Amino acid sequence: MAPLTSPKLEILIKSVSEKIRLLQLMRNFIVFEEQPLGVLAKKISGYHQFKAVGVALSRKTAERKKA
């Protein structure tokens, strides 16, 4: 956990810029959606969503190993 004195943006940039996390984010957490007039919008998940999915997958994997 980062110290409370660290700026939130700095923490976000450092954690997301780790090679494996960046690749996961690019591969699994970016969606393109067509907007009115045919314009494509790129949507990226929030860091809290990225982290929550990771936690959920870890728990599910652990459950499967127990079974």
Q: What is the pLDDT of residues 22-39, one digit of tens each?
A: 888 889 999 999 999 999
Q: Residue 3 falls within a domain, yes or no? A: no
For 25, the domain range is: 8-66
Backbone torsions φ then ψ of 29, nearest 5 degrees = -125, 20
Q: Number of C-alpha atoms within 13 angstroms, CB side, residue 28? A: 12
Would the pLDDT of 6 be above 70?
no
Q: How many domains does the structure of the chain reveal?
A: 1
Q: Residue 30 falls within a domain, yes or no? A: yes
Would the pLDDT of 1 be above 60?
no
Whole-number Cα distances in Å, 42 to 32, 34, 45, 61, 67: 5, 9, 10, 30, 39
Alpha helices for 1-67 (secondary structure H): 8-16, 19-28, 47-66
